[in-house]
């Protein structure tokens, strides 16, 4: 608009922009660079290390020493392949179950008399404010072999042998569904609350059955909420570490856990970086879809 430079505006944009460039984007570059390096028994535990005194020549030297060895390694050891696939499977199945459990809750909330709704929303958000770690921890006591669930079922006489749930994939599913349920319920509720319920009456009036009304009226209209909820569960679940680590067993493979293991247990920074790069590539498409959706949502409000 104006040819003059608006310094206030420039500064306003520059400060958060530079912060994110340096502390969000640049770190990804260093992950990528690290993934091309080799492990070494040193401090820091990788080579090559750039020494600023060697100048440009040193930089060129460094670049020549980078290679894709770690990526080749990832394809050779099937641990990584299986981790990726198993993460995908676990994330997909848990997202599906979160939707299945979340929808009736969101629907029930939207149908609650309006003076109660704010309280219900608060009750959904409240667990989100309390520590994630603590909520996962709570399930250990419930699910373990001599835990509360088994004690209860044995007491009722439903089972005579304790169920083995903790340290299995089932425990991971339960953990993810439990932890991410608020992320599914809130966008669904937001969409369902906006729904014009006279549309349902109109459909019923025009001879649509109740079940069909659900599929042809409600579901299409709340689709944006369904998408948002699924993204919010699927994307973070894919890279989840705490839940598979605490609830899953040694056979539960998830990529976040594998990465953590490579980094903290094997101290193999280059390989864990390569794992991270691949995980990021898997996530690029859903994250971009999510961003598009968020921006559209924001525009829709204004």
User: Considering the rule CB under 8 A, would residue 59 count as an interface residue with another protein?
Assistant: no
Cα→Cα distances 179→60, 140, 189, 269, 299, Å: 47, 13, 17, 29, 30
Which part of the chain contacts another protein (CB under 8 A), choosing from 55-63, 67-75, 220-228, 292-300? Answer: 292-300
Closest contact distance (angstroms) between CB of 137 and another protein is: 5
The footprint of another protein on this chain (CB under 8 A) covers a number of residues equal to 100
Q: Which two tokens stand for residue 99?
A: 């939707």
- Residue 205 CA from chain centroid, whole number: 42
- 188 touches 226 (CB < 8 A): yes
> Quick one: CA torsion of 183, 184, 189, 190, rounded to 10 degrees?
60
User: What is the smallest separation between the CB atom of 175 and another protein, expressed in angstroms?
Assistant: 10
Cα separation, 24 vs 10, whole angstroms:
20
Residue 159 and residue 74 in contact, taking contact as beta carbons nearer than 8 Å = no
CB of 124 to another protein, least distance (A): 7
- Taking CB under 8 A as the criterion, the residue among 74, 186, 192, 238 binding another protein is 238
Contact predicate 184/229, CB 8 Å:
yes
Q: Is 247 in the site for another protein (CB under 8 A)?
A: no
Binding mask 194-233 for another protein (x = CB under 8 A): ---x--xx--x--------------------------xx-
Q: Does 20 bind another protein (CB under 8 A)?
A: yes
Binding mask 144-183 for another protein (x = CB under 8 A): x-xxx--x--------------------------x--xx-
Q: Which is nearer to another protein, 185 or 222 (CB)?
A: 185
88 binds another protein (CB under 8 A): no
Q: Which of 31, 93, 153, 195 binds another protein (CB under 8 A)?
A: 31
At closest approach, how far in Å is the CB of 9 from another protein? 7
Helix residue spans in the chain (DSSP H): 7-20, 26-35, 55-65, 69-76, 78-111, 114-129, 132-143, 148-156, 169-194, 198-205, 210-213, 219-221, 223-238, 242-246, 255-260, 269-301
**Cβ-based neighbours of 15, under 8 Å, separated by 6 or more:** none
Of the candidates 163, 87, 138, the one whose C-alpha atom is nearest the C-alpha of residue 246 is: 138
**Contact call for residue 63 and another protein (CB under 8 A):** no
21 part of the interface to another protein, by CB under 8 A = yes
Residues 266-285 as x/- pattern, contact with another protein by CB under 8 A: ---x--xx--x--xx--x--
Q: Which is nearer to another protein, 25 or 206 (CB)?
A: 25
Q: Binding of another protein at residue 90 (CB under 8 A)?
A: no
Smallest gap from residue 241 Cβ to another protein (A): 5
Q: Residue 19 interacts with another protein (CB under 8 A)?
A: yes
The distance of closest approach from Cβ of residue 232 to another protein in the complex, given in angstroms and rounded to an integer, is: 7
Q: Please, what is the minimum distance in Å from the beta carbon of residue 167 to another protein? A: 13
Alpha carbon distance 86, 80 (integer Å): 10
- The SS3 assignment for 168 reads coil
Give the x-and-dash track for 115-144 against another protein (CB under 8 A).
Answer: ---xxx-xxxxxx-xxxxxxx-xxxxxx-x
Residue 139: partners with Cβ closer than 8 Å, 6 or more residues away: 171, 174, 175, 178, 247
Rg (CA), the chain: 25
């Amino acid at each position: 608009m104006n040819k003059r430079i608006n310094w206030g505006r420039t500064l306003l944009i520059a400060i958060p922009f530079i912060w994110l460039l340096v502390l969000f984007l640049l770190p990804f570059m260093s992950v990528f660079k690290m993934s091309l390096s080799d492990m070494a028994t040193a401090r820091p535990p990788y080579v090559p290390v750039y020494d600023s005194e060697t100048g440009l020549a040193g930089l060129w030297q460094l670049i020549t020493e980078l290679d894709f060895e770690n990526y080749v390694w990832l394809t050779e050891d099937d641990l990584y392949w299986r981790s990726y696939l198993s993460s995908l499977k676990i994330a997909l199945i848990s997202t599906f179950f979160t939707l299945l459990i979340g929808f009736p809750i969101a629907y029930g909330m939207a149908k609650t008399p309006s003076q109660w709704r704010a309280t219900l929303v608060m009750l959904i958000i409240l667990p989100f404010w309390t520590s994630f770690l603590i909520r996962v921890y709570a399930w250990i006591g419930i699910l373990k072999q001599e835990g509360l669930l088994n004690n209860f079922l044995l007491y009722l006489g439903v089972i005579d042998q304790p169920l083995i749930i903790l340290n299995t994939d089932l425990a991971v599913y339960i953990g993810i569904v439990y932890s991410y349920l608020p992320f599914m319920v809130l966008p669904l509720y937001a969409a369902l609350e906006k729904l014009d319920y006279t549309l349902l009456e109109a459909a019923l009036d025009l001879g649509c059955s109740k079940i069909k009304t659900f599929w042809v009226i409600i579901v299409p209209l709340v689709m944006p909420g369904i998408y948002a909820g699924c993204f919010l569960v699927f994307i973070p679940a894919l890279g989840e570490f705490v839940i598979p680590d605490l609830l899953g067993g040694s056979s539960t493979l998830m990529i976040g856990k594998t990465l953590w293991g490579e980094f903290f247990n094997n101290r193999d920074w280059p390989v864990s970086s390569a794992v991270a790069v691949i995980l990021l590539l898997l996530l690029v498409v859903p994250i971009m879809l999510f961003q598009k959706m968020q921006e559209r949502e924001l525009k829709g409000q204004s």
